[in-house]
């Protein structure tokens, strides 16, 4: 029997003006389905279902992290789902401090008993998740991604990261902030 768990992940939120800007961009892209502006985020480590009694150890591991703040730049667009895309996202300019935070957090969470899946970290902000699209719509989205890849570059300060609980019950899912961890050395 699968243990009753909370679906949780660690991530970053975005300043409201950038969420609004991305939401407008998502509208202009005419995505099959969009992520609501208040739900836009960048995932650092996805944990999936965690039994509530294991959460405290993960929370303490996150609290013990000591990392400086940094700046990120939203840049470019991308698709997931090679031949039949099922998500469109905004990318981030390469930032070693982000890679370092992600790696340190993942290592700390593993030590605290979590088992995040070992996928390569591709920093992204999902603007839309949708059923795999047929060739014609796939081609349109690919053209939009190419056209949008040089545009929209926004710098923002990352001062903390967040433990989110994901509620799948509704449509769209709702992300609840459980805890926030300041970045400091
Ligand atoms: P996505 O935006 O690319 O879908 C909550 O589901 C967050 O965790 C989303 O940002 C999602 O990424 C991310 N995530 C990473 N791995 C996941 C997985 N295996 N299942 C669901 N969400 C995952």
Pairwise pLDDT comparison (164 vs 117), residue with the higher score:
164
Q: What spacing in Å lies between the alpha carbon of 123 and ligand 1's midpoint?
A: 11
Q: pLDDT tens for residues 66-119?
A: 999 999 999 999 999 988 999 999 999 999 999 999 999 999 999 999 999 888
Q: pLDDT tens for residues 122-133?
A: 999 999 999 999
Nearest-angstrom CA–CA distance, 151 and 118: 31
Residue 132 · residue 76 · CB < 8 Å? no
Whether 167 has a pLDDT exceeding 80, the answer reads yes
Q: What spacing in Å lies between the alpha carbon of 154 and ligand 1's midpoint?
A: 23
The protein residue with its alpha carbon nearest to ligand 1, atom 7, reads 43
Number of domains in the chain: 1
Which stretch of 8-22, 84-98, 149-163 has the lowest confidence by average pLDDT?
149-163
Asked if residue 1 belongs to a domain, the reply is no
Dihedral of CA atoms 76, 79, 80, 86 in degrees, nearest 10, equals: 140
Residue 21: what pLDDT?
Answer: 93
Pairwise pLDDT comparison (174 vs 112), residue with the higher score:
112
- The predicted model scores a pTM of 0.94
CATH number of domain containing 165: 3.90.1140.10
**Which residues face 43 on adjacent strands?**
11
Average pLDDT, the chain: 93
Query: Which helix (DSSP H) or strand (DSSP E) does residue 36 occupy?
Result: none
Task: Please give all residues whose beta carbon lies within 6 A of any atom in ligand 1, as ranges.
Answer: 9, 43, 46, 87, 117, 126, 129, 166
CA distances from residue 117 to 3, 111, 180 in whole angstroms, order as listed? 18, 14, 23
Asked if residue 99 belongs to a domain, the reply is yes
What is the SS3 assignment for 163?
strand
Q: What is the pLDDT averaged over residues 14-34?
A: 94
Asked if residue 42 belongs to a domain, the reply is yes
The protein residue with its alpha carbon nearest to ligand 1, atom 22, reads 46
Asked if residue 40 belongs to a domain, the reply is yes
Whether 153 has a pLDDT exceeding 90, the answer reads no
Residue 2: what pLDDT?
Answer: 59
What is the SS3 assignment for 65?
coil
Q: What is the pLDDT averaged over residues 49-72?
A: 96
Strands 42-50 and 6-12: antiparallel
Name the residue of 7, 8, 9 whose CB sits within 8 Å of the most ligand 1 atoms, as the mutation to test its pocket.
9
Q: What is the pLDDT averaged over residues 39-48?
A: 97
What's the DSSP call for residue 134?
Answer: P
Strands 124-129 and 87-92: antiparallel
Whether 1 has a pLDDT exceeding 60, the answer reads no
Strand order in the sheet with 160-167: 42-50, 6-12, 160-167, 174-182
Whether 149 has a pLDDT exceeding 80, the answer reads no
Nearest-angstrom CA–CA distance, 70 and 23: 24
Which domain does 132 fall in, by range?
6-182
By annotation, the residues acting in catalysis are 41, 124
- By percentage, how much of the chain surpasses pLDDT 90? 85
Residue whose C-alpha is closest to residue 163's, from 18, 3, 45: 45
Residue 152: what pLDDT?
Answer: 60
């Amino acid at each position: 029997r699968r243990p009753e768990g909370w679906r949780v992940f660690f991530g970053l939120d975005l300043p409201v003006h950038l969420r609004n800007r991305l939401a407008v961009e998502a509208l202009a892209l005419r995505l099959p389905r969009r992520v609501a502006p208040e739900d836009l985020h960048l995932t650092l480590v996805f944990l999936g279902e965690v039994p509530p009694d294991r959460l405290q150890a993960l929370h303490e591991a996150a609290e013990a992290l000591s990392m400086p703040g940094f700046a990120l730049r939203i840049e470019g667009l991308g698709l997931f789902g090679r031949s039949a895309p099922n998500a469109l996202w905004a990318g981030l300019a390469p930032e070693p401090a982000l890679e370092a935070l992600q790696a340190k957090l993942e290592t700390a969470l593993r030590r605290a008993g979590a088992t995040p899946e070992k996928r390569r970290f591709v920093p992204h902000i999902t603007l839309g998740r949708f059923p795999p699209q047929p060739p014609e719509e796939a081609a349109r989205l690919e053209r939009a991604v190419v056209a949008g890849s040089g545009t929209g570059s926004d710098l923002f300060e990352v001062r903390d990261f967040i433990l989110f609980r994901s509620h799948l019950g509704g449509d769209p899912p709702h992300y609840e902030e459980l805890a926030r961890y300041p970045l400091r050395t």
